[in-house]
Protein backbone atom coordinates (compact mmCIF):
# COMPACT_ATOMS: atom_id res chain seq x y z
CA UNK A 1 0.00 0.00 0.00
CA UNK A 2 1.09 3.56 -0.49
CA UNK A 3 0.42 6.72 1.38
CA UNK A 4 0.27 10.38 0.55
CA UNK A 5 2.54 12.74 2.36
CA UNK A 6 1.02 16.23 2.70
CA UNK A 7 4.55 17.61 2.61
CA UNK A 8 5.52 15.69 -0.47
CA UNK A 9 6.01 18.78 -2.59
CA UNK A 10 8.62 20.00 -0.19
CA UNK A 11 10.61 17.10 1.04
CA UNK A 12 13.02 14.90 -0.78
CA UNK A 13 11.54 11.42 -0.96
CA UNK A 14 14.99 9.99 -0.45
CA UNK A 15 14.98 11.32 3.07
CA UNK A 16 12.14 9.10 4.20
CA UNK A 17 13.51 6.66 6.78
CA UNK A 18 12.88 3.03 6.08
CA UNK A 19 11.06 2.63 9.37
CA UNK A 20 8.37 4.99 8.17
CA UNK A 21 8.16 3.45 4.77
CA UNK A 22 7.18 0.25 6.54
CA UNK A 23 4.42 2.11 8.28
CA UNK A 24 2.50 2.62 5.06
CA UNK A 25 -1.12 1.66 5.35
CA UNK A 26 -3.69 3.17 7.62
CA UNK A 27 -3.00 6.79 8.42
CA UNK A 28 -4.58 8.35 11.43
CA UNK A 29 -4.09 11.26 13.69
CA UNK A 30 -3.61 8.86 16.50
CA UNK A 31 -0.28 7.28 17.16
CA UNK A 32 -1.62 3.99 15.91
CA UNK A 33 0.38 2.55 18.72
CA UNK A 34 -1.08 -0.87 18.28
CA UNK A 35 -0.36 -1.16 14.61
CA UNK A 36 2.63 -2.29 12.65
CA UNK A 37 4.78 -5.32 12.51
CA UNK A 38 1.83 -7.55 13.07
CA UNK A 39 2.17 -6.92 16.78
CA UNK A 40 -1.40 -6.12 17.70
CA UNK A 41 -4.68 -5.06 16.31
CA UNK A 42 -5.10 -1.63 14.80
CA UNK A 43 -6.33 1.11 17.07
CA UNK A 44 -9.90 2.08 16.17
CA UNK A 45 -10.02 5.31 14.23
CA UNK A 46 -12.39 7.90 15.50
CA UNK A 47 -14.48 10.25 13.43
CA UNK A 48 -12.50 13.22 12.26
CA UNK A 49 -9.22 11.42 12.16
CA UNK A 50 -7.17 11.47 9.02
CA UNK A 51 -7.45 8.24 7.15
CA UNK A 52 -5.68 7.28 4.02
CA UNK A 53 -7.24 4.81 1.71
CA UNK A 54 -5.27 1.98 0.25
CA UNK A 55 -5.01 3.77 -3.07
CA UNK A 56 -3.04 6.60 -1.53
CA UNK A 57 -5.84 9.16 -1.55
CA UNK A 58 -6.45 11.08 1.63
CA UNK A 59 -9.76 11.74 3.29
CA UNK A 60 -11.24 15.22 2.87
CA UNK A 61 -10.15 16.19 6.35
CA UNK A 62 -6.52 16.14 5.40
CA UNK A 63 -4.95 19.45 4.55
CA UNK A 64 -1.97 19.61 2.28
CA UNK A 65 0.12 22.06 4.26
CA UNK A 66 2.61 23.96 2.22
CA UNK A 67 5.13 25.44 4.61
CA UNK A 68 5.52 28.76 2.87
CA UNK A 69 7.62 31.24 4.74
CA UNK A 70 9.30 28.48 6.67
CA UNK A 71 13.01 28.57 7.19
CA UNK A 72 13.85 25.52 5.15
CA UNK A 73 17.29 25.26 6.70
CA UNK A 74 15.62 24.27 9.92
CA UNK A 75 13.27 21.85 8.36
CA UNK A 76 14.06 18.18 8.72
CA UNK A 77 11.40 15.68 7.88
CA UNK A 78 8.44 16.58 10.07
CA UNK A 79 6.60 13.56 8.71
CA UNK A 80 3.25 15.15 9.45
CA UNK A 81 0.29 13.20 10.60
CA UNK A 82 1.93 9.92 9.77
CA UNK A 83 1.22 6.72 11.66
CA UNK A 84 4.09 5.57 13.76
CA UNK A 85 3.54 2.02 14.92
CA UNK A 86 4.63 0.65 18.24
CA UNK A 87 7.49 -1.78 18.06
CA UNK A 88 6.70 -3.60 21.29
CA UNK A 89 3.71 -5.57 22.52
CA UNK A 90 1.71 -4.68 25.58
CA UNK A 91 3.36 -6.27 28.60
CA UNK A 92 6.21 -7.62 26.50
CA UNK A 93 9.60 -8.48 27.98
CA UNK A 94 12.44 -9.55 25.73
CA UNK A 95 13.21 -13.26 25.82
CA UNK A 96 16.17 -14.26 27.94
CA UNK A 97 18.43 -15.32 25.11
CA UNK A 98 18.46 -11.84 23.59
CA UNK A 99 20.89 -9.02 24.29
CA UNK A 100 17.89 -6.85 25.07
CA UNK A 101 17.04 -9.05 28.05
CA UNK A 102 20.42 -8.34 29.63
CA UNK A 103 19.88 -4.65 29.21
CA UNK A 104 16.45 -4.90 30.83
CA UNK A 105 17.91 -6.77 33.80
CA UNK A 106 20.43 -4.01 34.34
CA UNK A 107 17.72 -1.41 34.10
CA UNK A 108 15.54 -3.36 36.54
CA UNK A 109 18.38 -3.27 39.02
CA UNK A 110 18.95 0.43 38.43
CA UNK A 111 15.23 1.00 38.90
CA UNK A 112 15.41 -0.52 42.38
CA UNK A 113 18.15 1.97 43.25
CA UNK A 114 16.18 4.84 41.78
CA UNK A 115 13.08 3.85 43.74
CA UNK A 116 14.85 4.44 47.04
CA UNK A 117 17.09 7.34 46.01
CA UNK A 118 16.94 10.59 47.95
CA UNK A 119 16.58 12.36 44.62
CA UNK A 120 13.18 10.81 44.09
CA UNK A 121 10.22 13.08 44.80
CA UNK A 122 7.88 11.06 46.97
CA UNK A 123 4.59 12.89 46.86
CA UNK A 124 1.70 10.52 46.20
CA UNK A 125 -0.57 13.27 44.87
CA UNK A 126 1.96 14.71 42.43
CA UNK A 127 3.11 11.26 41.37
CA UNK A 128 -0.49 10.21 40.79
CA UNK A 129 -1.18 13.33 38.74
CA UNK A 130 1.86 12.87 36.48
CA UNK A 131 1.27 9.12 36.18
CA UNK A 132 -2.31 9.88 35.14
CA UNK A 133 -1.07 12.02 32.26
CA UNK A 134 1.39 9.31 31.27
CA UNK A 135 -1.35 6.69 31.33
CA UNK A 136 -3.60 8.81 29.14
CA UNK A 137 -0.78 9.17 26.64
CA UNK A 138 0.45 5.58 26.78
CA UNK A 139 -3.06 4.20 26.56
CA UNK A 140 -2.87 0.38 26.48
CA UNK A 141 0.78 0.57 27.53
CA UNK A 142 -0.04 2.40 30.76
CA UNK A 143 0.93 -0.59 32.87
CA UNK A 144 4.29 -0.91 31.15
CA UNK A 145 5.56 2.57 31.93
CA UNK A 146 6.62 3.49 35.47
CA UNK A 147 7.13 7.13 36.33
CA UNK A 148 9.73 8.45 38.77
CA UNK A 149 9.86 12.13 39.60
CA UNK A 150 13.44 13.19 40.24
CA UNK A 151 14.58 16.31 42.02
CA UNK A 152 17.17 17.55 39.57
CA UNK A 153 16.78 21.18 38.47
CA UNK A 154 17.61 20.58 34.83
CA UNK A 155 15.19 20.37 31.93
CA UNK A 156 15.11 16.70 31.14
CA UNK A 157 13.15 13.48 31.08
CA UNK A 158 14.44 10.03 30.27
CA UNK A 159 13.06 6.66 29.26
CA UNK A 160 14.83 3.37 29.97
CA UNK A 161 14.19 0.31 27.82
CA UNK A 162 12.24 -1.46 30.58
CA UNK A 163 9.70 1.35 30.79
CA UNK A 164 11.24 3.42 33.60
CA UNK A 165 10.53 7.05 32.93
CA UNK A 166 12.33 9.76 34.87
CA UNK A 167 10.80 13.22 34.96
CA UNK A 168 13.27 15.79 36.27
CA UNK A 169 12.08 18.72 38.32
CA UNK A 170 13.67 21.20 35.90
CA UNK A 171 11.11 20.05 33.33
CA UNK A 172 8.22 20.34 35.76
CA UNK A 173 9.30 23.89 36.54
CA UNK A 174 9.55 24.94 32.90
CA UNK A 175 6.36 23.37 31.57
CA UNK A 176 3.66 26.02 31.74
CA UNK A 177 0.70 23.69 31.49
CA UNK A 178 -0.32 20.06 31.27
CA UNK A 179 -0.17 20.04 27.49
CA UNK A 180 3.46 21.17 27.43
CA UNK A 181 4.37 18.50 29.93
CA UNK A 182 2.42 15.96 27.89
CA UNK A 183 4.56 16.84 24.88
CA UNK A 184 7.70 15.67 26.67
CA UNK A 185 6.04 12.70 28.34
CA UNK A 186 4.63 11.60 24.99
CA UNK A 187 8.10 11.94 23.50
CA UNK A 188 9.54 9.65 26.16
CA UNK A 189 6.75 7.12 25.76
CA UNK A 190 7.53 7.06 22.06
CA UNK A 191 11.11 6.08 22.86
CA UNK A 192 9.70 3.08 24.69
CA UNK A 193 7.15 2.15 22.07
CA UNK A 194 9.74 2.37 19.32
CA UNK A 195 12.37 0.40 21.28
CA UNK A 196 14.91 3.14 20.73
CA UNK A 197 16.96 2.09 23.73
CA UNK A 198 18.01 -1.27 22.39
CA UNK A 199 18.93 0.33 19.10
CA UNK A 200 21.09 2.85 20.92
CA UNK A 201 22.50 0.13 23.14
CA UNK A 202 23.62 -1.87 20.14
CA UNK A 203 25.27 1.21 18.78
CA UNK A 204 27.08 1.78 22.07
CA UNK A 205 28.13 -1.86 22.22
CA UNK A 206 29.62 -1.64 18.78
CA UNK A 207 31.91 1.06 20.17
CA UNK A 208 32.82 -0.59 23.45
CA UNK A 209 33.48 -3.93 24.98
CA UNK A 210 33.38 -5.33 28.48
CA UNK A 211 31.53 -4.33 31.60
CA UNK A 212 31.64 -0.66 30.73
CA UNK A 213 28.87 -1.24 28.22
CA UNK A 214 26.15 -1.74 30.78
CA UNK A 215 27.38 1.00 33.05
CA UNK A 216 27.51 3.50 30.25
CA UNK A 217 24.24 2.35 28.80
CA UNK A 218 22.64 2.84 32.19
CA UNK A 219 23.90 6.40 32.33
CA UNK A 220 22.84 7.10 28.78
CA UNK A 221 19.33 5.96 29.54
CA UNK A 222 19.33 8.09 32.63
CA UNK A 223 18.97 5.36 35.19
CA UNK A 224 22.43 5.20 36.68
CA UNK A 225 23.67 8.12 38.75
CA UNK A 226 24.45 10.90 36.33
CA UNK A 227 27.88 12.36 36.71
CA UNK A 228 30.01 9.59 35.43
CA UNK A 229 32.42 11.49 33.25
CA UNK A 230 33.22 8.51 31.07
CA UNK A 231 29.54 7.86 30.50
CA UNK A 232 28.85 11.45 29.66
CA UNK A 233 31.75 11.44 27.25
CA UNK A 234 30.37 8.36 25.61
CA UNK A 235 27.00 10.02 25.29
CA UNK A 236 28.62 12.56 23.03
CA UNK A 237 29.74 9.90 20.62
CA UNK A 238 26.27 8.46 20.15
CA UNK A 239 24.37 11.73 20.00
CA UNK A 240 24.22 11.87 16.27
CA UNK A 241 22.80 8.38 16.21
CA UNK A 242 20.11 9.23 18.72
CA UNK A 243 18.89 12.33 16.95
CA UNK A 244 16.84 10.42 14.39
CA UNK A 245 15.16 8.69 17.30
CA UNK A 246 14.52 12.03 18.94
CA UNK A 247 12.78 13.35 15.86
CA UNK A 248 10.71 10.23 15.55
CA UNK A 249 9.78 10.49 19.22
CA UNK A 250 8.85 14.13 18.83
CA UNK A 251 6.36 13.29 16.14
CA UNK A 252 4.99 10.18 17.76
CA UNK A 253 4.72 12.02 21.07
CA UNK A 254 2.75 14.77 19.39
CA UNK A 255 0.43 12.16 17.94
CA UNK A 256 -0.08 10.74 21.41
CA UNK A 257 -0.90 14.23 22.68
CA UNK A 258 -3.61 14.62 20.09
CA UNK A 259 -5.02 11.23 20.87
CA UNK A 260 -5.22 12.23 24.53
CA UNK A 261 -6.96 15.49 23.72
CA UNK A 262 -4.08 17.92 24.25
CA UNK A 263 -3.34 20.91 22.05
CA UNK A 264 -0.46 19.73 19.81
CA UNK A 265 0.83 23.29 19.48
CA UNK A 266 2.01 23.04 23.10
CA UNK A 267 4.92 20.88 21.96
CA UNK A 268 6.23 23.58 19.66
CA UNK A 269 5.59 26.27 22.25
CA UNK A 270 7.67 24.44 24.83
CA UNK A 271 10.62 24.39 22.49
CA UNK A 272 10.05 28.03 21.60
CA UNK A 273 10.22 28.83 25.29
CA UNK A 274 13.43 26.86 25.71
CA UNK A 275 14.94 28.61 22.72
CA UNK A 276 13.94 31.93 24.21
CA UNK A 277 15.45 30.97 27.55
CA UNK A 278 18.72 29.99 25.94
CA UNK A 279 18.87 33.13 23.78
CA UNK A 280 18.10 35.38 26.74
CA UNK A 281 20.66 33.57 28.88
CA UNK A 282 23.33 34.21 26.26
CA UNK A 283 22.24 37.82 26.06
CA UNK A 284 22.57 38.26 29.83
CA UNK A 285 25.88 36.44 30.00
CA UNK A 286 27.61 36.07 26.61
CA UNK A 287 30.11 33.65 28.16
CA UNK A 288 27.30 31.12 28.63
CA UNK A 289 27.39 29.85 25.10
CA UNK A 290 27.37 26.17 25.81
CA UNK A 291 24.05 24.78 26.96
CA UNK A 292 24.12 23.22 30.39
CA UNK A 293 21.32 20.80 29.83
CA UNK A 294 22.19 17.31 28.69
CA UNK A 295 18.82 17.40 26.98
CA UNK A 296 19.97 20.23 24.72
CA UNK A 297 23.19 18.40 23.98
CA UNK A 298 21.73 15.04 23.08
CA UNK A 299 18.68 16.22 21.22
CA UNK A 300 18.28 17.84 17.84
CA UNK A 301 18.67 21.60 17.62
CA UNK A 302 15.60 22.90 19.33
CA UNK A 303 14.89 25.51 16.65
CA UNK A 304 14.37 22.60 14.30
CA UNK A 305 12.09 20.85 16.78
CA UNK A 306 10.10 23.98 17.40
CA UNK A 307 9.58 24.48 13.70
CA UNK A 308 8.74 20.90 12.83
CA UNK A 309 6.32 20.53 15.69
CA UNK A 310 4.66 23.83 14.79
CA UNK A 311 4.13 22.70 11.21
CA UNK A 312 2.59 19.47 12.38
CA UNK A 313 0.41 21.26 14.92
CA UNK A 314 -0.86 23.59 12.20
CA UNK A 315 -1.69 20.61 10.06
CA UNK A 316 -3.56 19.05 12.94
CA UNK A 317 -5.41 22.32 13.52
CA UNK A 318 -6.41 22.61 9.88
CA UNK A 319 -7.94 19.18 10.06
CA UNK A 320 -10.08 20.31 12.97
CA UNK A 321 -8.08 19.09 15.94
CA UNK A 322 -8.44 21.14 19.07
CA UNK A 323 -7.04 20.36 22.41
CA UNK A 324 -6.87 21.36 26.03
CA UNK A 325 -3.97 23.01 27.87
CA UNK A 326 -4.71 22.27 31.54
CA UNK A 327 -2.88 25.36 32.76
CA UNK A 328 -4.48 25.95 36.14
CA UNK A 329 -4.75 22.23 36.87
CA UNK A 330 -1.04 21.93 36.29
CA UNK A 331 -0.04 24.79 38.57
CA UNK A 332 -2.40 23.48 41.24
CA UNK A 333 -0.94 19.98 40.96
CA UNK A 334 2.60 21.24 41.41
CA UNK A 335 1.46 23.00 44.58
CA UNK A 336 4.29 23.76 46.99
CA UNK A 337 6.76 21.85 44.88
CA UNK A 338 6.94 24.72 42.41
CA UNK A 339 8.68 26.89 45.00
CA UNK A 340 10.99 24.02 45.93
CA UNK A 341 11.91 23.68 42.26
CA UNK A 342 12.48 27.43 41.94
CA UNK A 343 14.78 27.30 44.98
CA UNK A 344 16.68 24.38 43.46
CA UNK A 345 17.02 26.31 40.21
CA UNK A 346 18.61 29.27 42.01
CA UNK A 347 20.94 26.98 43.95
CA UNK A 348 22.55 25.90 40.71
CA UNK A 349 24.29 29.25 40.76
CA UNK A 350 23.63 29.58 37.02
CA UNK A 351 22.23 33.05 37.43
CA UNK A 352 21.97 34.05 33.78
CA UNK A 353 19.89 30.98 33.03
CA UNK A 354 17.75 31.44 36.13
CA UNK A 355 17.16 35.10 35.31
CA UNK A 356 16.09 34.21 31.79
CA UNK A 357 13.78 31.49 33.04
CA UNK A 358 12.19 33.71 35.66
CA UNK A 359 11.58 36.46 33.10
CA UNK A 360 9.70 33.96 30.95
CA UNK A 361 7.68 32.64 33.85
CA UNK A 362 6.83 36.15 35.02
CA UNK A 363 5.73 37.11 31.49
CA UNK A 364 3.46 34.11 31.54
CA UNK A 365 2.06 34.72 35.01
CA UNK A 366 2.54 38.41 35.82
CA UNK A 367 0.08 38.18 38.68
CA UNK A 368 2.16 35.57 40.48
CA UNK A 369 3.89 37.11 43.50
CA UNK A 370 5.94 33.98 44.19
CA UNK A 371 7.81 34.48 40.93
CA UNK A 372 8.69 38.06 41.89
CA UNK A 373 9.93 36.80 45.24
CA UNK A 374 12.24 34.35 43.54
CA UNK A 375 13.48 37.10 41.25
CA UNK A 376 14.41 38.93 44.43
CA UNK A 377 16.13 35.82 45.76
CA UNK A 378 18.04 35.51 42.50
CA UNK A 379 19.37 39.07 42.74
CA UNK A 380 20.21 38.59 46.43
CA UNK A 381 22.19 35.45 45.66
CA UNK A 382 23.96 36.93 42.63
CA UNK A 383 24.94 39.99 44.63
CA UNK A 384 26.48 42.00 41.82
CA UNK A 385 26.49 45.79 41.61
CA UNK A 386 22.90 47.01 41.60
CA UNK A 387 21.44 43.64 42.50
CA UNK A 388 20.46 44.72 46.01
CA UNK A 389 18.19 47.43 44.58
CA UNK A 390 16.75 45.00 42.05
CA UNK A 391 16.11 42.50 44.83
CA UNK A 392 14.39 45.04 47.06
CA UNK A 393 12.17 46.15 44.17
CA UNK A 394 11.25 42.55 43.40
CA UNK A 395 10.42 41.81 47.05
CA UNK A 396 8.22 44.91 47.17
CA UNK A 397 6.42 43.82 44.01
CA UNK A 398 5.88 40.36 45.45
CA UNK A 399 4.29 41.88 48.53
CA UNK A 400 2.09 44.14 46.40
CA UNK A 401 0.92 41.08 44.49
CA UNK A 402 -0.17 39.52 47.76
CA UNK A 403 2.67 37.10 48.34
CA UNK A 404 2.82 36.60 52.10
CA UNK A 405 5.22 33.73 52.70
CA UNK A 406 7.65 34.33 55.56
CA UNK A 407 10.68 33.77 53.33
CA UNK A 408 9.88 37.00 51.50
CA UNK A 409 10.65 39.03 54.62
CA UNK A 410 13.77 37.03 55.36
CA UNK A 411 15.23 37.80 51.95
CA UNK A 412 14.01 41.38 52.11
CA UNK A 413 15.55 41.90 55.54
CA UNK A 414 18.92 40.33 54.70
CA UNK A 415 19.14 42.41 51.52
CA UNK A 416 18.25 45.63 53.31
CA UNK A 417 20.88 44.96 55.98
CA UNK A 418 23.50 44.32 53.34
CA UNK A 419 22.42 47.50 51.61
CA UNK A 420 23.02 49.47 54.80
CA UNK A 421 19.38 50.08 55.65
CA UNK A 422 19.37 48.60 59.14
CA UNK A 423 15.95 49.92 60.12
CA UNK A 424 14.22 48.37 57.13
CA UNK A 425 16.27 45.21 57.50
CA UNK A 426 15.40 44.75 61.15
CA UNK A 427 11.72 45.47 60.50
CA UNK A 428 11.57 42.87 57.73
CA UNK A 429 13.42 40.25 59.77
CA UNK A 430 11.09 40.82 62.71
CA UNK A 431 8.14 40.29 60.37
CA UNK A 432 9.80 37.05 59.27
CA UNK A 433 10.05 35.85 62.86
CA UNK A 434 6.45 36.93 63.54
CA UNK A 435 5.29 34.83 60.59
CA UNK A 436 7.62 31.90 61.30
CA UNK A 437 8.52 31.91 65.01
CA UNK A 438 9.52 28.24 64.86
CA UNK A 439 11.77 28.68 61.82
CA UNK A 440 14.94 26.57 62.14
CA UNK A 441 17.08 29.63 61.54
CA UNK A 442 15.27 31.78 64.12
CA UNK A 443 18.36 31.86 66.34
CA UNK A 444 20.51 33.14 63.51
CA UNK A 445 17.96 35.77 62.51
CA UNK A 446 17.75 36.97 66.12
CA UNK A 447 21.54 37.30 66.04
CA UNK A 448 21.32 39.37 62.83
CA UNK A 449 18.69 41.64 64.35
CA UNK A 450 20.81 42.07 67.48
CA UNK A 451 23.93 42.87 65.47
CA UNK A 452 22.08 45.42 63.35
CA UNK A 453 20.54 47.07 66.42
CA UNK A 454 23.99 47.27 68.02
CA UNK A 455 25.47 49.08 65.02
CA UNK A 456 22.51 51.42 64.44
Partner 1 sequence: MKKIVLSLGLTALLLMAGCAKQFVQVDPSTQQFGPVSFTTAQPWNKVDINADHSMWTVDGLTLNTLELTGNVGKGKRLFGSAKTIKGPQFDPSMSLPEQSEFLLASLRADGLPNAEIFGLEAFRIGEIDAFTVYFGGENEDGLDTLGLAVGFVHDEAFHAIIYRAASEHYYEKLLPEVTGIIESLKSNEVST
Q: Which residues contact partner 1 (rule: CB under 8 A)?
A: 113, 116-119, 151-154, 225-229, 294, 344, 347-349, 380-381, 383, 410, 414, 417-418, 440-441, 443-445, 447-448
At 159, which helix (H) or strand (E)?
strand 157-159
DSSP 98-113: SHHHHHHHHHHHHHHH
d(CA 304, CA 127): 31
User: Which residue's CB is nearer to partner 1, number 286 or number 443?
Assistant: 443
Burial class (CB in 10 A: 0-12, 13-18, 19+), 54: exposed
Angle between helices 212-220 and 229-259 (to 10 degrees): 40
Q: Is 12 left (phi over 0), alpha (psi -120 to 50) or beta?
A: beta
Shorter beta-carbon distance to partner 1: residue 70 or 431:
431
Q: Using the minimum distance from each CB to partner 1, give the nearer residue, 110 or 311.
A: 110
Q: How near is the Cβ of 152 to partner 1 at its closest, in Å?
A: 7
Pick 135 or 448: Cβ nearer partner 1: 448
265-284 vs 229-259: helix crossing angle, rounded to 10 = 140
Q: Positive or negative, the Cα torsion across 119, 136, 26, 302?
A: negative
3-class secondary-structure state, position 39: coil
* Least distance from partner 1 to the Cβ atom of residue 397, Å: 22
Residue 39 has a CB neighbour count (10 Å cut-off) of 15
**227 versus 437: smaller Cβ distance to partner 1:** 227
Rounded Cα–Cα distance for residues 376 and 9 (Å): 52
Output the smallest distance, CB 425 to partner 1, in A: 10
Residue 343 Cβ vs partner 1, minimum distance, rounded to whole Å: 9
Shortest CB 120 distance to partner 1, Å = 8
CB of 403 to partner 1, least distance (A): 20
Would you say 38 or 210 has its CB closer to partner 1?
Answer: 210
Rg (CA), the chain: 25
- For residue 157, the surrounding DSSP H or E stretch is strand 157-159
Residue number with CB closer to partner 1 (3 or 155): 155
Least distance between partner 1 and beta carbon 409 (Å): 13
Amino acid sequence: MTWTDPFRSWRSPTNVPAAFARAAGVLCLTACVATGGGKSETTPIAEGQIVEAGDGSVSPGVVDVTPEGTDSSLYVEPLPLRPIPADIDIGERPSLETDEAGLWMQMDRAERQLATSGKRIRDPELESYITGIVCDLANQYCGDVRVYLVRTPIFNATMAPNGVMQVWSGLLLRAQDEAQLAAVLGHEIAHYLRRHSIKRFRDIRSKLTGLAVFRIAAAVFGVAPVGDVAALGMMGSIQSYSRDHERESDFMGQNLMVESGYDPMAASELWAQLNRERARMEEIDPDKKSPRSVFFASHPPSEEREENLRLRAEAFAQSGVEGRRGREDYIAALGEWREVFLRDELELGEYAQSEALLEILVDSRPEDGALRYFQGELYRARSQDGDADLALAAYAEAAELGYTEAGLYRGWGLTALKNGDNAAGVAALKTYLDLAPEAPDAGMIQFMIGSADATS
